[in-house]
Amino acid sequence: MLTYTLRRLLLAIPTLLLISLVIFLLVDLAPGSPASEIPLTVPPEVRAKILEALGVNEPLHIRYLLWLKQFFYVEPLNGIDWLFGTDLAGDMQRIISYQTRSPVFPLIGQRLPQTLTVIGTAYLVGVMIALPIGIYSAYKQYSLFDQFGTMFAMIGFSVPTFFTGTVFIIVFGVWLGWFPTKYDTTLKVTDWASLIKQLRQMAMPVMVLGLANAAAISRYMRSSMLENMKQDYVRTARAKGMSERTVVLKHVLRNSMIPVVTIIALGIPSIFGGAIITENLFGVNGIGAALIGAIHGNDLPMVQTLAFIFAILIVTFNLIADVLYGLLDPRIRYD
């Protein structure tokens, strides 16, 4: 297992480099340019000058190598400077976003709290709802609970989030007025009142996303439980006289959790890039919204950096999921 993990970690480096190159080529090849957001009233010569100043016209390999150097050398130095107050980075040029003409990493840092708070909570809530529903649905297969659980899951992932989100906004925000329709990112939680405010403005996006997450995970949980409930060892355990509770929660659940845990681990990167529509709808202005905004504006450095961070997360969590899978299931042999 250890050699496997080390081997994977070593393999991850060239993989990530290759991924970064592919993403760079893809975004560069894609039609569209950062000039699309400049109003048409600006004459073409001025536009050309703007693009020149952004560095868009440099040859491809120069831009890629510059980005690599900035990402792996300049930005970590800036990070150390920020943490420890040193001045190692000096005047070295950082990765600059075309849209804002400011460094990319502080932008990401600004957006991270919202994403983690709202989207992360939604994921957690989704998982916590999904597991009991999946377990009980499988245990009482075809019962009324199962039917309802299935229907809830169906609604959860068959209806797109832009639909549920808009319905929620109109029902809870406009008609009932229970929750604000726009997320205030400047709200700082300092006391009880502001905490209530924060919870109130998080309620709708968390509900919308949590529903979608819960639906998918509960299906997997249920399907995994069903498979294991039919195994011979369950029959044996029951025959031995164990209580249902022990059988289900101690034997079946543990074995069923294996694929589900890996699926949960695989879903974590999606917190950072997947909730684009929800973020847009509620004005949460997190990382997903930043990515889609950058893609629309053809902001290559921003897209490249965000997509690469996303790739790192995916590779890391894939590794974690695989290692977990190997650790939890003794039947799996990697070496």
Partner 1 sequence: MTETTLERPESQIAAIWHQFRQHKGAVFGLCVLAFLVAFVLIGPLLWQTEVLKVSEALKVKNQGPSLRFPLGTDQLGRDMLDRMMSAGRVSLAVGFIAMMIAIFFGTFIGILAGYFKRLDGALMRLTDMFLALPLIPLLLVMVMLFRDRIAKLVGPEMGAFILIVFAIGLTSWMHAARIVRGEVLALKEREYVLAARSIGAPPRRIILRHILPNVVSPVMVAATLGIAEAIITESVLSFLGLGFPPDFPTWGRLLFDGLQYMQLYPERVIWPGLAISLTVLSVNYIGDGLRDALDPKARGR
Partner 2 sequence: MKLKTALLGAACAFAFAPAAFAERGADGHVNVLYWQAPSTLNPYLSSGTKDVESASLVLEGLAGFNEKGEVVARLAESVPTVENGGVAADLTSITWKLKPGLLWSDGSPVTSADAKFTWEYCTHPEGGCAQAARYEGVSSIDTPDAETIVIHFSAPKPNPYMAFVGGTSPILQAAQFANCLGAAASTCTEQNFGPIGTGPFRVTEFKTNDTVSLEANPNYRDPAKPAFATMTVKGGGDAEAAARAVMETGEFDYAWNTQINPELQAAMAGGGKGTFLNGFGTLVERIEMNMTDPSSDLAEGERSTTAHPHPILSDIKVRTALSMAIDRQVLVDIGYGAAGRPTCNLVPAPDMFASDNTGCLTQDIEGAKKLLDEAGWVPGADGIREKDGRKLSVLYQTSTNPVRQDFQALIKGWWEEIGVATELKNIDASVFFGGDAGSPDTFQKFYSDVEMYANNFDGTDPEPYLAQYMCDKIPGPANQWQGENINRFCDPAYDALVKEMSATAEMGKRAELAKKMNDMLTKDSMVVVPLVDRGRLSAASTTLGGVVLNTWDTEMWNAQDWFRVK
- Interface residues with partner 2 (CB under 8 A)? 31-44, 46-54, 91, 93, 96, 98-103, 106-107, 110-111, 169, 173-174, 177, 180-182, 184-186, 280-285, 289-290, 293, 295-298
d(CA 305, CA 89): 19
Least distance in angstroms from the C-beta of 106 to partner 2: 8
Which residues are CB-contacts of 68 (< 8 A; sequence separation ≥ 6)?
20
Q: Which is nearer to partner 1, 117 or 228 (CB)?
A: 228
Least distance in angstroms from the C-beta of 229 to partner 1: 10
Identify what 40 binds: partner 1, partner 2, none; CB under 5 to 8 Å per kind: partner 2
Q: Does 53 sit near partner 1 (CB under 8 A)?
A: no
Sign of CA dihedral 57, 96, 116, 118: negative
Task: Give the long-range contacts of residues 236-243, CB within 8 A, separation 24 or more.
Answer: none
Identify what 158 binds: partner 2, partner 1, none; CB under 5 to 8 Å per kind: partner 1
Least distance in angstroms from the C-beta of 8 to partner 2: 36
d(CA 313, CA 287): 14
Distance from the first to the final alpha carbon of the chain: 7
d(CA 145, CA 133): 9
Identify what 277 binds: partner 1, partner 2, none; CB under 5 to 8 Å per kind: partner 1
Q: At what angle do helices 104-114 and 300-328 cross, to 10 degrees?
A: 50
> How far is C-alpha 69 from the chain's CA centre?
26
Burial of 40 (0-12, 13-18, 19+ CB in 10 A): exposed
Within 10 Å of residue 156's Cβ, how many Cβ atoms? 24
Least distance in angstroms from the C-beta of 193 to partner 2: 16
- CB 302 within 8 Å of CB 98: yes
Q: Which is nearer to partner 2, 14 or 43 (CB)?
A: 43
Which residues are CB-contacts of 30 (< 8 A; sequence separation ≥ 6)?
298
Q: Which is nearer to partner 1, 155 or 195 (CB)?
A: 155
The piece of 82-90, 119-127, 236-244, 308-316 that touches partner 1 (CB under 8 A) is 308-316
Q: Does 225 sit near partner 1 (CB under 8 A)?
A: no
Q: What are phi and psi of 254, to 5 degrees?
A: -60, -45
Least distance in angstroms from the C-beta of 39 to partner 2: 6
Q: Which DSSP category does 103 fall into?
A: B
Least distance in angstroms from the C-beta of 24 to partner 1: 10
Q: Which is nearer to partner 2, 203 or 268 (CB)?
A: 203
The piece of 48-56, 64-72, 108-116, 160-168 that touches partner 1 (CB under 8 A) is 160-168
Q: Using CB under 8 A as the criterion, which residues of the chain lie in contact with partner 1 when the complex forms? A: 7-8, 11, 15, 18-19, 22-23, 26-27, 29-32, 142, 147, 150-151, 154-155, 157-160, 162-163, 166-167, 170, 174, 216, 219-220, 223, 227, 230, 259, 262, 266, 269, 277, 291-292, 295, 303, 307-308, 310-311, 314-315, 318, 322, 325, 329, 331-333
